[in-house]
Structure 1
Amino acid sequence: MTSRTFSPARSRLNASYRNLTLWTLQGWLAMFFIAAGYAKLSEPMANLIDLMRWPALVSESMVRGLGVAEIVLAVLVLAPLASWKHGRPLLVMAASGLLALEAVMLGLHAFGQDVGPAVTNLVLIAMTAPVLWMRAREVR
């Protein structure tokens, strides 16, 4: 096994690529959850029940509250754009919240045998986990 030491310039380039990748994932997550939260807030319950089965099992206020939570967490994922120093801890907290939400919804969709939403949640988990892991390492 060989270990390589990168030059300072190469290390900065690798860090730039990593940062660009993480910001891209953060942007996609924010867009998805803002759209999903907006739909939960603005669509009639009948439409939501037709699109997803689970809103029929809970109260309307829970669906609307979940929409608000998704929008707030999505905005917090982009908090470092406003202030890197204060936004990074908010980003880590928001990514943790989104990951927990995605895991619960994956279980709910898998239990209800909703294949499409379950796969969507797997993709979202695959996007959120590296953001949380890499950005949490930067906070220390």
Structure 2
Amino acid sequence: MNIFLWILTGVLAAFFLAAGVTKLSQSRAKLLESGNMNWVEDLSAGTVKLIGTAELLGAIGLILPAVLDIAPILVPLAATGLAVIMLLAIIVHARRKENQPIILNAVILVVAVVVAIFRFGPNSF
């Protein structure tokens, strides 16, 4: 089970690392141009950067504490925080009536919740 959780955690961390770096490295206008992030028009540039920072820190928090064996309790806390981000993303997309992103957000939410539950409980470090 530990290997399975590491795989889930690695995939989750890679997803949020890419998402966070994208939001932090590109301007709001460029994110809007991509066509995949139309929700950005509802938020300020600062809020988008805040979301990107939270995603990046969450990705780091999923891996480094466990690998370095320094405060491994941060792993399920990071997973919980990322689950909250996905829940909020679902709400934003539902308000905008964007059904396609909701499916991806729901899958990522489930993965984050599974990692959080198992790392808090039976498979904690």
TM-score (norm 1): 0.80
> 2: distance between equivalents of 1:86 and 1:67?
23
Aligned position for 1:59 = 44
Q: Which has the larger radius of gyration?
A: 1
Q: Which amino acid in the other structure matches residue 105 of structure 1?
A: A
Aligned position for 2:114 = 130
Runs of 4+ in 1 over 6 A off after TM superposition: none
Aligned position for 1:9 = none
Within the alignment, does 1:107 sit opposite 2:91 as a pair? yes
Q: CA deviation at 1:36?
A: 0.2
> 1: distance between equivalents of 2:36 and 2:115?
29
Aligned position for 1:81 = 67
> 1: distance between equivalents of 2:124 and 2:41?
40
Q: Which amino acid in the other structure matches residue 75 of structure 2?
A: L
1:1-140 matches, within 5 Å, as: 18-49=1-32, 50-78=35-63, 79-83=65-69, 86-87=71-72, 89-137=73-121, 138-139=123-124
Give ranges in structure 1 of 5+ residues lacking alignment. Answer: 1-17
Q: Which amino acid in the other structure matches residue 32 of structure 1?
A: F
Q: CA deviation at 1:122?
A: 0.8
TM-score (norm 2): 0.89
> 1: distance between equivalents of 2:26 and 2:51?
13
Higher relative contact order (CA 8 A, sep 6+): 2
**For each residue in 1:56-79, what CA deviation from the matched residue of structure 2 results, as whole angstroms up to 9, or x when unmatched?**
111101101111110001100112
